[in-house]
Amino acid sequence: MEELYRENAKIVYHFLYKLCGDRTLAEELTQETFLQAYKSLERFDGSCKISVWLCQIGKYLYYQYVRKHQRELPADVEETYGQKAGTDVEKQVLERIELMETLREMQNLPQQIREVMYLRISADLSFREIGEILGKSENWARVNFYRGKERLLQLRERSREENEKNGVKNRRDEDE
């Protein structure tokens, strides 16, 4: 297990850091990834590289973290509001809220499309990297990302129509 850690810890850490953008969280998730891998090593079937398998474990741990913490207001919103004079704080908060709404809407997508979108949006990975991680082709990742965007747009359009029917204005409509 020690050798497995030495050979793959850097890969897993960089993957998770790209996914979450937080060094501390990436370190914690890396440790948890190897703990989970140790517990389920007998289930590794060798159908992919061990580093890919470890990144998949890390990805699922990250998704669990996001689901657990998505309803919490980000701590940096208050810091941003109080400390960054001269910046458009309201715009930053609205962008953050919109991102959270998008992530919440993504929960309604099929799992494979949701995974591709998380990896593309949150980790800023290329379609080639996403394909490798999920054991699919680059084109498969590209097509599923496109399908996910289309479904999200459809969901938003339906929601907007329902709100208009019920007399509720969209926040963007009010801003214009």
- Tell me the domain boundaries of the chain: 1-71, 90-167
- Cβ atoms of 145 and 120 within 8 Å: the answer is yes
* CATH class of the domain at 1-71: mainly alpha
DSSP, res 135: T
End-to-end CA distance of the chain: 58
Residue 100 has pLDDT above 50, yes or no: yes
Just give the CATH number of 90-167: 1.10.10.10
pLDDT tens per residue across span 109-128:
888 898 888 888 777 788 99
What one-character-per-residue DSSP string does 70-126 give? Answer: TTSPPHHHHHHHHH-TTS-HHHHHHHHHHHHHHHHHHTTS-HHHHHHHHHHHTS---
Helix, strand, coil fractions of the chain, as percent rounded to 5: 80, 0, 20
Percent of the chain with pLDDT over 70: 77
pTM to 2 decimals? Answer: 0.46
Instruction: Name the nearest CA neighbour of 133 among 54, 61, 44, 46.
Output: 54
Nearest Cα residue to 31 out of 3, 7, 15, 9: 9
**pLDDT confidence bin for 94, thresholds 50/70/90:** low
pLDDT score recorded for residue 93: 57
How far does Cα 118 stand from its chain's mean position? 3
pLDDT, residue 174, reads 46
What is the band of 102 on the pLDDT scale with cuts at 50, 70, 90?
confident
Span 31-41, mean pLDDT? 88
Q: Give the DSSP H or E segment for 54.
A: helix 50-69
When pLDDT is cut at 50, 70 and 90, the band that residue 171 belongs to is very low
**Least confident interval from 20-29, 73-82, 142-151, 157-166:** 73-82
Q: Please report the pLDDT score of residue 138 as a whole number.
A: 92
Pick from 27-31, 43-47, 130-134: least confident: 43-47
- State mean pLDDT over 62-86: 58
Q: Please say if the pLDDT value at position 25 is more than 80.
A: yes
